């Protein structure tokens, strides 16, 4: 028999129990090396999330196989909400288009916590390339097909697939040089080993400010407010526009209340004026959507990229 005293103690304990999560540091796993687009956008968000939750949020880079190593790890961990995954279109939309026999399935094994950003890509070339505009580069490449090199974060990575989509629209052909992450590819661009990259502006901002790379165009429908001098690809005469995104996911069996707490915290972080401004400075746009909307977007992205991979006959290594 439950006494009134026992009921009273339960009532007093309930709020404390509800607030016991998180009770230790949260790990935010990223499937790419430090310095890449996801890492660059994610770290300032994780810092503010840490301050809001009152526990450290530690970024853990587990690079390899376009993020698949990290996602397979995530599919096996304890789904208690203390380990999350921050990914991009490559992880959350493209991966199954390239790897049909993975040990995990994004739709079966994970649930969305929140989309954080929508991110246009920029077309970037080495400052040593004799082209000042996107139109000039396209003309140069058409005259010298496959003489110039394109660097990506790896075969089947988000930047590679964005490049392939742009390449088909622009009618150009470069020699693909895959690296193990965006950071190493940028080093190749600055060293002159490759002449073009496609990716989030935040990756190239330092080199752009220093005059070491030239940003030719941006993939969004409209110009970016922090990059008003950079035309859209469509403005240059090529009918192409495509947006990437970053989102946080969790193992599918995470307790719903914990998923909701994390979603609410990220909603508040992404609404902060300082965060909105910081994302703009990195070339992204703060574009929070709740976990259920991220789940739907991931399904749509998977279908879109599966079609492109089949049409382009891209084979993962």
Please, which pLDDT band fits residue 202 given cuts at 50, 70 and 90? confident
Please, which pLDDT band fits residue 7 given cuts at 50, 70 and 90? very low
> Residue holding tokens 């165009």?
217
Please, which pLDDT band fits residue 139 given cuts at 50, 70 and 90? very high
Please, which pLDDT band fits residue 317 given cuts at 50, 70 and 90? low
Average pLDDT over residues 50-65: 95
* DSSP-derived pairing of the beta strands 213-218 and 110-126: antiparallel
Average pLDDT over residues 246-258: 97
Give domain limits for the chain.
Answer: 25-118+244-312, 120-236
CA distance 170 to 167: 5
CATH superfamily of 120-236: Periplasmic binding protein-like II (3.40.190.10)
pLDDT at 11 over 50: no
pLDDT at 17 over 70: no
- The first and second tokens of residue 218, run together, are 């941006």
Indicate if 120-236 has the same CATH topology as 25-118+244-312.
yes
pLDDT digits (tens, 9 = 90+) for 265-297: 999 999 999 999 999 988 889 999 999 999 999
Provide DSSP, 90-103: IIIIIHHHH-TT-S
pLDDT at 105 over 60: yes
pLDDT digits (tens, 9 = 90+) for 31-52: 988 988 899 999 999 999 999 9
> CATH number of the domain at 25-118+244-312, please?
3.40.190.150
Angle of helix 201-209 relative to helix 37-53, nearest 10 degrees, comes to 110
pLDDT at 138 over 60: yes
How much is the pLDDT for 153?
A: 85
pLDDT digits (tens, 9 = 90+) for 78-101: 999 999 999 999 899 999 998 888
């Amino acid at each position: 028999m439950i006494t009134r005293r026992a009921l009273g103690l339960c009532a007093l304990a309930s709020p404390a129990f509800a607030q016991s999560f998180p009770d230790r540091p949260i790990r935010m796993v990223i499937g790419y090396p430090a310095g890449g687009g996801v890492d660059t956008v994610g770290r300032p968000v994780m810092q503010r999330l840490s301050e809001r939750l009152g526990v450290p949020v530690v970024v853990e880079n587990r690079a390899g196989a376009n993020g698949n190593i990290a996602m397979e790890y995530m599919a096996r961990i304890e789904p208690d909400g203390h380990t999350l995954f921050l990914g991009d279109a490559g992880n959350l939309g493209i991966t199954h288009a390239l790897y049909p026999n993975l040990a995990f399935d994004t739709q079966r094994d994970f649930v969305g916590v929140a989309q954080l950003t929508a991110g246009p890509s920029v077309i970037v070339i080495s400052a040593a390339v004799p082209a000042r505009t996107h139109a000039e580069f396209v003309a140069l490449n058409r005259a010298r097909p496959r003489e110039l090199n394109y660097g990506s974060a790896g075969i089947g990575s988000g930047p590679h697939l964005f490049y392939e989509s742009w390449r088909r629209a622009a009618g150009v052909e470069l020699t693909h040089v895959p690296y193990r992450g965006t950071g190493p590819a940028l080093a190749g661009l600055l060293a002159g080993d490759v002449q073009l990259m496609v990716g989030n502006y935040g990756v190239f901002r330092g080199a752009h400010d220093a005059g070491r790379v030239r940003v030719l165009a941006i993939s969004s429908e409209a110009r970016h407010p922090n990059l008003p001098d950079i035309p859209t690809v469509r403005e240059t005469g090529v009918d192409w526009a495509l947006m990437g995104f970053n989102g946080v996911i969790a193992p599918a069996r995470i307790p719903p209340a914990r998923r909701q707490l994390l979603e609410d915290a990220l909603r508040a972080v992404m609404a902060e004026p300082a965060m909105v401004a910081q994302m703009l400075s990195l070339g992204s746009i703060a574009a929070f959507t709740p976990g259920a909307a991220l789940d739907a977007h991931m399904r749509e992205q998977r279908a879109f990229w599966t079609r492109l991979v089949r049409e382009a006959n891209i084979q993962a290594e």
